[in-house]
A = this chain, B = another copy of it.
Amino acid sequence: MNHKQSKQRTRLLEMLRNHYGHLSAEQVYNKLKEEDKRISLATVYRNLNLLAEQNKINKIEHPTVGSMYDGREYPHYHLHCEACDGLFDIQGLYLNELNDKVETQMKARILTHRIVFEGICESCLKKGSNVDGHLT
């Protein structure tokens, strides 16, 4: 399929690139609507899926909220805080060699991998949250 360039897709990508952190489709939609009321949620979903397939953005399955997106261009892992439900980037820890290892072991072809760490983020630790029993 040949893709044309659309204002909506361009703005969406630009917005994600300039936004640090993770956004849901709905949040992306709301942010874009601030500039142009006429954009639709369907378009946001269509473009998020397209850009994620093209690896121009990252799609992360958030354990409780649905899919989240970020515009980082380098591969990275995520920390999901069970207390505040936040999603945090983990920098400088991408294990390239893992793909080869699994490729050999599974006799498969590995394209990429994702890691999500589960725990309590720095800020929640300071607050002394005890997270509905997980930590008690």
Contacts and interface: CB of A to CB of B under 8 A. Distances in A.
8 contacts: A53-B134, A90-B102, A92-B105, A102-B117, A106-B122, A113-B115, A113-B117, A114-B115
A108 B113 contact: no
Contact of A61 (B63, B88, B102): B63
Interface string A98-130: 110111011111111111111111100100000
Q: Copies of this chain, how many?
A: 2
A82 interface: yes
Interface of A: 53, 61, 63, 77, 79, 81-82, 88, 90, 92-93, 98-99, 101-103, 105-122, 125, 134-135
B134 A107 contact: no
Nearest to A88: B106
A77 B102 CA distance: 10
Nearest to A60: B61
Most chain B CB within a 10 A radius of its CB, from A105, A109, A115:
A109
